[in-house]
């Protein structure tokens, strides 16, 4: 296997993210012919979405913006034997905000699955590599790698249990203050006009900090207002979900997960519990409606006792629904989502409403 490392770019070197999607479109187009020459099972996906996000940064005060989303993806299923299969996919998603900084994500995923117990138990070895870039919140820019094990266990005709155990490496690229990521209680615009416009702390300035051993500070608690070097974090997630097939048109899902983040900046480490439920309903032929509720409890166990401005235990809730209408390979959908959270910094909690509609074409 050949690996490619991604380096941090200075503002003058940053490529236009839209070029990545055009490049990916060409790669997926050529790849489809290469794979098709060996097998016929290939799925290509293209999506165009428009909408409005009341709070893209999950901060307080909020700064809303309309947006477009452009997404491309491809997936291929290799049958290696009667019981062994390999699923490989690549994708890219570019979110073009109209009045704040854009973001994009590129990823590649794989799953090696083995069928056991006459098809009733299917464990999978899974992996992912990804790159995320964000002009609104540079503190969130990162490369990711994940390995894990998933399993689907068919308990009965109406019940299927899914299990997950994953380990994710999060390699952040930029210097940042603590709790500066999305939904972490820091208004991204408070870092200055340079970051507001998508620019990063200059490489020369970072080098100066390294040589002199100094950090710029703002008002208030010095620990919270220092810039720290890019983080290397590790997230372990253990989860389970139960699919309930109630009728031919109604399906439910209950899920729960436990996450443990080991952050290189200790105060950002946390333990988290997630629980949620979803219902999928087919009200008529070619229609699909999905409702979902999720709640998180996050405990920052390494926050220093004297850092009184940090709330150790935080909660967030989200609710959403999607309505889809299908015409063959074409899907027209509308989504409504709401999220509310108590951020780590006591004086910064947030709410967000996202309304969007779009077209998805797969073939």
Three-state SS annotation for 1-62: CCCCCCCCCCHHHCCCHHHHHHHHHHHHHHHHHHHHCCCCCEEEEEEEEEEEECCCCCCCCC
Mean pLDDT within 131-155: 97
- Predicted confidence at residue 102, as pLDDT, reads 96
What pLDDT score was predicted for residue 189?
58
pLDDT at 185: 79
Q: How confident is the model at residue 207 (pLDDT cuts 50, 70, 90)?
A: low
Nearest Cα neighbor of 90 from 79, 75, 77 is 75
Looking at the predicted structure, is the pLDDT value of residue 32 above 90?
Answer: no
Give the tens place of pLDDT for each residue, 260-293.
999 999 999 999 999 999 999 999 999 999 999 9
Pairing of strands 121-134, 65-79: unpaired
The 3-state DSSP class for residue 116 equals strand
Kindly state the average pLDDT of the residues 149-170.
Answer: 98
pLDDT digits (tens, 9 = 90+) for 95-132: 999 999 999 999 999 999 999 999 999 999 999 999 99
Distance CA 84, CA 114 (A): 5
Rg (CA), the chain: 22
pLDDT tops 90 at residue 88:
yes
> What residue spans define the domains of the chain?
11-362
pLDDT of the residue at 298 = 96
Q: Which CATH number fits domain 11-362: 1.20.1250.20, 3.90.1210.10, 2.60.120.380, 2.40.160.40?
A: 2.40.160.40
Mean pLDDT of 352-361: 97
Can you tell me the mean pLDDT for 304-325? 89
- State the number of CA atoms in the 13 A half-sphere of 359 facing the CB: 6
Give yes or no for residue 36 having a pLDDT over 80: no
């Amino acid at each position: 296997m050949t690996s490619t490392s991604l380096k941090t770019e200075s503002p003058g070197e940053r490529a236009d993210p839209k070029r990545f999607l055009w490049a990916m479109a060409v790669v997926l187009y050529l790849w489809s012919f290469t794979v098709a020459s060996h097998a016929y099972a290939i799925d290509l996906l293209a999506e165009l979405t428009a909408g409005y996000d009341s709070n893209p940064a999950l901060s307080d005060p909020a700064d809303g913006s309309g947006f477009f989303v452009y997404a491309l993806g491809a997936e291929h299923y290799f049958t290696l034997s009667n019981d062994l299969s390999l699923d490989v996919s690549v994708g890219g998603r570019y979110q073009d905000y109209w009045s704040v900084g854009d973001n994009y994500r590129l990823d590649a995923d794989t799953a090696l699955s083995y069928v056991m117990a006459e098809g009733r138990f299917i464990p999978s070895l899974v992996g992912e590599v990804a790159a995320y870039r964000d002009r609104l919140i540079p503190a969130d820019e990162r490369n990711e790698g994940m390995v894990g094990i998933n399993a689907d266990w068919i308990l009965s005709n109406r019940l299927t249990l899914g299990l997950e155990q994953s380990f994710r490496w999060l390699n952040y690229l930029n210097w940042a203050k603590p709790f500066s990521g999305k939904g972490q209680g820091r208004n991204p615009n408070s870092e200055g006009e340079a970051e507001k416009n998508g620019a990063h702390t200059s490489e020369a300035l970072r080098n100066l900090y390294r040589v002199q051993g100094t950090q710029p500070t703002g008002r208030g608690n010095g620990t919270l207002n220092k810039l720290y070097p890019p983080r290397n974090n590790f997230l372990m997630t253990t989860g389970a979900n139960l699919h309930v097939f109630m009728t031919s048109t109604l399906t439910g899902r209950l899920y729960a997960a436990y996450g443990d983040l080991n952050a290189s900046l200790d105060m950002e480490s946390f333990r988290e519990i997630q629980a949620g439920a979803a219902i999928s309903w087919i009200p008529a032929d070619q229609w699909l409606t999905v409702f979902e509720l999720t709640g998180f409890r996050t405990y920052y166990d390494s926050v220093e006792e004297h850092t009184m401005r940090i709330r150790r235990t935080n909660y967030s809730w989200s609710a959403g629904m999607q309505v889809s209408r299908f015409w063959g390979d074409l899907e027209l959908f509308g989504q409504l989502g709401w999220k509310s959270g108590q951020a780590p910094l006591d004086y910064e909690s947030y709410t967000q409403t996202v309304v969007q509609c779009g077209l998805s074409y797969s073939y």
